[in-house]
A and B are shown apart, each in its own frame.
Chain A
Amino acid sequence: MEIFEYIANVFADVSNPKKRIFFGYLLLTILIALVWLVAVRRSSFKRALGQVFDRKILFSPSARADYKIFVINRVFTMFISPLLLSQLAIATALYYALHDIDFLQRGVFSDTPKGVIVALFTVTIFIVDDFTKYLLHRWMHRWPLLWAIHKTHHSAETLTPITVYRTHPLEGLLYGMRGAVAQGTVMATFLFFFGNAVDLYTVLGVNVMSFVFHVTGSNLRHSHISIRYWPWLEHILISPAQHQVHHSIARQHHDKNFGVAFAVWDWLFGSLYLSERDTDLKFGLPPSEAHSSRLLDIYLRPFSDMARVVRRRYHRIFRPKPVQASSDKTPVTR
C-alpha cells in the first residue's frame, strides 16, 4: 500500500459522517461546548476557549497514548475486519431460515405505507443497535474475562473525543460481531416481513438518528466539558456528564451508565446514575489495574489478566481448596 493511501486510510474516519470524529461533528462539538460554557456556565468567551482547548488535557500522557492507539488500532482493524462475519452473511442466513418456518408469511406487512416501513426500520435498527451496545458494555464490566479487555478504555485519565478509539483490538472484534448480529437480524426480519420497501432514512448517508446523536455533541461524552441534561431527560438520553460519571474512579460511580444514546436501558436495569452539579470527577484506574500511557502495558496486560482469570476459574472448578484462602487478587470490576 502506498504510504499516502495508508495515511489517508488511517485518518479516513475524520471525513466519514458515519464516524463520531467526522470533522463536521467535531466542529459542532466545539461550538456546543463554547455555547454551554458561555451561556450556561457564564464563563467569558476567552476563558471558555481556554477550557475547551486545555493543553493539559489535550496533550496529557493519557491523551497522547489515545492518539497513538488510534493509529495502531487502524492497522489492527485492517487485518481484523476481513475476518469478521459481516451483517450481510448473518442477514442472508437468517433470511433463508425465516423462509423455512411454515407459519411465518413472507411479506405479510408489505402493504404498510412505505414511509412507515422506512421510519420503523430506521428507528428499530437504531434502538436494537443501542440496546445491544448497552448489553455488551454491561457484560464488559461485569464479567472478569471481558473486564480485562475493557480496562484499556477505562485506563484513560483524561478524556478527549479520540478516547473513543482507546479500546483493545479484542474489544473491537467483540463489538464488530455484536453489530453484525444486531443489524443482520433486524435487516433480515424487516425484509422478510415488509418486503423490498425497507430502507433507511439518512442524512449524509448516516441513519438520521445516529446523525442527531452526533450533531448534538456525542463527542462531549469523552471530554472534560460536563454538559448535563434535566433529570427527566437523563432518564431517557445519556448526557455527556453521565458518561463522564461512568468513567469516574469514585466507588459510587462504578458500574453505572452503560448506555450509549439511550438512558432507558440503565433506568430499566438499575444502573442509571444522574449527573451531579459541580462534582470534580477523577478518571482512570489504579496502577495495580492498568497504566494510562504505557502502550505495551495497554496492549498486553489484558492477555495476562485474562490468563489469570481462566487459571483461577480452572483451579476453582477442578482443584477445590476449601481450607486455604486463595491468594489471587480479585480484579476490581466496575
Chain B
Amino acid sequence: MLKPKLKLTSALVVAAFVGGTAFADQAYGPFPVTVKGYEGDKTNSVSYSGQIARHVLHDSLKKAAAKGDGGNNAAEVEALMLAYFNGSEEDLAIIAPVSKDGFPVKQSTVNEISKGKNISGKFYKGAMTAWPGNQSGVDVALQMIKLAAASEQGYDPVNGMDWGQLISKFTLGAMAYNQAVDNYLDEKLDADNKPNDQPYSEGAHYTGKEHSWDEAFGYFGAAAHSVSLSPEQNYAVSKQKDLAAADANGDGVIDLKTEFVFGPAYYAAGADKGGNKNTQYMTTIFNAFRDGRALIASANGEALTDEQRAQLKNYADIIETNWEKTLAEATFKYAGSVYKDIDKIKSGEDTDKALRNYAKHWGELKGFSMALQSGKNNLGAAAIDMNWLIGFGPAMPDGKMVSDIDADGNFVRGREMTLDDYQVNMLKVQKLLIDTFGIESRANDATADLAALAEKLGENASAEND
C-alpha cells in the first residue's frame, strides 16, 4: 500500500508546485461562483468585507484611545471607544484610515463596508495571564478601554502605559490572528463544518468553505493585490503614502475592501522590509491563502475530498506558522526599541520625550506579546517566561514596575526593577523569541553587534597549534 500512497502524495506535491507557480503574483480573487443552483447575478465568490469592517473598527478604536483629556471626558470617550469595540446601531464614522492629501479613501463610514460588525464578539475569550487580575482576554480589553478613556491622550506617565498601542497590538492578535488560526483555519476546515457543497448561508453566492477561507484571508488584512507589491510598497500603502501602489483598479480612490493593507499584513511586510531582510512572510502567507482559495474553487461546488482538505490544512499550517512568526518578529523588534529607549532615558536628555517613546514602544511590545498568546497554540513555559521578563508594566526610572491591579482598576507598583535589569530582560526576551519561534528578520537585535563581531573574528575550532 505504501507505494501507491507515495505516488499520490508525490502527485499532490507536484500539483501544488505547478499550481503554485501558475498562480504566483496573482491577486486574491476574483474566483468564480461555484455554489450549485445559484441563480443570482454575482460572478465573483470572494467576500470578506466583514473582516475589513473589523479592521476599520480596530484602527478607529486605536485613534479614539487618544481622545481623553485626563478624566473630565472619561465617560464620553469610553462610550466612543465601546461603540467601536462592541459595535453600534448607528453608522459609525471611520476615524482611521481616512482620506488625506494624495490618498483619497472611498469609504467614510463603517456601514459602507459592512453592517452590524463589532470587535468584541470576535475577541479572544480565554484566560490572559500576561495581564494582571486573572481576567479573560476580552475583559482585559474592556479594562484597557476604561483606563484609556480616563487618561490624558491615552498616556499614563506614572505606570508607563500607552493605551492606544496596548489595545491595538493586543487586538491584532486577540481578534484577527485568533479568529483566523483558531476558528476559520481550524474547525471550519472540518468536513461537516461549513461544507463546500452548500452555500455558506441560504441564498449566498459562495460555498461554506469558500467563505470561511475568505474570512481568514480578510483577517490577515492584505490588499487583494498585495502579492504583486514589494514589502516597502505594502508598508507604504498601509501608511497611506503610496497611492499608485494601493490603487489596483486605477480609479483614483482607495477601496478599503480590497486595496488597503491592514495591521497583520502590515507587520508581515514590516518584518520582511526591516531587520535582516531574509524573510518573505507576506508572500508566503499570501500565496498559501490564494492557492488554498484556488483549490477550493477547483472543487467546483462539490464537497471537498479528504485529500483536498488535507492539502488545505497544509496551507493553513503555513499561514499559521508564519503569522505567528510575524507576531514574534514584532515583539522582538519592540523589545529592541525598549532596550534602546532605556539608553536614552539614562542619558538624561529630554526625559519627558524619552519616557513617552519608551511607553509607546513598551505598549507595542506588551501588546504583541499578548497577541502571541491569543492564538491556537498554548505557548506554555515560553509564555510564562516572556510574561515575567516583560512584566505588567515597564520598569520606571524610580526602580518600580506594576505588579498587580486591584478590583477598582488601580495599578499596584510593587515590583522592584531597575532600568539596567530591565534592559537585560529585553535581551532575554529577544533570545527567548529566537529560541521559541526561530525568527529570522530580527529587527532591532540588541546583540546583533556581538554576532557581527563574532562573524568577523571567525570560528575558533581549529586543529592547528604551535
Contacts and interface: CB of A to CB of B under 8 A. Distances in A.
26 contacts: A73-B463, A86-B459, A86-B460, A87-B460, A96-B424, A99-B427, A102-B418, A102-B420, A107-B343, A137-B465, A164-B465, A167-B465, A171-B465, A172-B461, A175-B460, A177-B460, A178-B460, A180-B460, A187-B453, A187-B457, A191-B449, A191-B450, A198-B453, A202-B456, A222-B466, A260-B466
Q: Which 10 A-B pairs have the closest CB atoms?
A: A179-B460, A81-B461, A73-B463, A88-B454, A99-B424, A176-B461, A172-B463, A167-B465, A164-B464, A196-B449
A107 B449 CA distance: 13
Nearest to B418: A102
Interface string B412-445: 0000001011011001100100000000000000
B464 A100 contact: no
B463 A167 contact: yes
Given A99-B421, A99-B424, A100-B421, A92 B460 contact: no
Nearest to B465: A167
Contacts of B451: 88
A119 to B, nearest CB: 15
A202 B423 CA distance: 32
A19 interface: yes
B466 A200 contact: no
Contacts of B40: none
A307 B461 CA distance: 25
Nearest to A16: B458
B466 A133 contact: yes
A233 B423 CA distance: 48
B117 to A, nearest CB: 46
B463 A99 contact: no
B249 interface: no
Contacts of B450: 88, 91-92, 95, 187-188, 191
A20 B454 CA distance: 19
A205 B447 CA distance: 22
| Most B Cβ at <10 Å: residue of A91, A153, A246 | A91
A291 interface: no
Contacts, number: 112
A92 B432 CA distance: 13
Interface string B86-115: 000000000000000000000000000000
Interface in A244-270: 246, 260
Q: Indicate the size class of the contact surface on chain B.
A: 20 to 34
Given A106-B343, A183-B457, A96 B428 contact: yes
A134 B428 CA distance: 35
A100 B424 contact: yes
Contacts of A243: 466
A88 B420 CA distance: 22
Nearest to B460: A179
Point out which of A99, A171, A188, A222 has the most chain B C-beta atoms below 10 A from its C-beta: A99
Contacts of A196: 449
A169 B428 CA distance: 35
Contacts of A177: 460
Contacts of A20: 464
A99 B423 contact: yes
Interface of B: 343, 418, 420-421, 423-424, 427-428, 431, 447, 449-451, 453-454, 456-466
A96 to B, nearest CB: 5
A91 B449 CA distance: 11
B244 to A, nearest CB: 37
A80 interface: yes
Contact of A200 (B427, B453, B461): B453
A45 interface: no
A76 interface: yes
A86 B454 contact: yes
A18 B458 contact: yes
Nearest to B456: A200
Contacts of B427: 92, 95-96, 99
Given A91-B450, A91-B454, A153-B466, 7 more contacts: A77-B462, A99-B423, A100-B424, A106-B420, A176-B462, A180-B460, A205-B456
A167 B454 contact: no
A312 interface: no
Contact of B460 (A19, A99, A176, A207): A176
A128 B458 CA distance: 16
A241 interface: no
A102 B420 CA distance: 7
A246 B450 CA distance: 37
Given A77-B461, A172-B461, A221-B466, A100 B420 contact: yes
Interface string A195-228: 0101110100101000000000000011000000
Interface string A161-177: 00011010101100111
Contacts of B420: 99-100, 102, 106
A130 B447 CA distance: 26
A195 to B, nearest CB: 8
Interface in A75-108: 76-77, 80-81, 84, 86-88, 91-92, 95-96, 99-100, 102, 106-107
A34 to B, nearest CB: 24
Given A95-B447, A99-B423, A191-B449, A169 B463 contact: yes
Contacts of B466: 133, 137, 153, 164, 221-222, 243, 246, 260
Nearest to A78: B461
Interface string A95-130: 110011010001100000000000000000100000
A138 B328 CA distance: 48
B461 A19 contact: no
A301 interface: no
A200 B457 contact: yes
B339 to A, nearest CB: 10
B457 A165 contact: no
A81 B465 contact: no
A308 interface: no
Interface string A233-244: 000000000010
A111 to B, nearest CB: 11
B304 to A, nearest CB: 43
Contacts of A102: 418, 420
A74 interface: yes
B10 to A, nearest CB: 25
Contact of A77 (B423, B449, B463): B463
Contacts of B464: 13, 19-20, 164-165, 167, 172
B462 to A, nearest CB: 6
A183 B460 contact: yes
A175 B465 contact: yes
Nearest to B459: A81
B424 A165 contact: no
Contacts of A125: 457
A164 B421 CA distance: 45
Nearest to A69: B463
A160 B460 CA distance: 23
A133 to B, nearest CB: 7
Contact of B462 (A172, A183, A202, A205): A172
A102 to B, nearest CB: 7
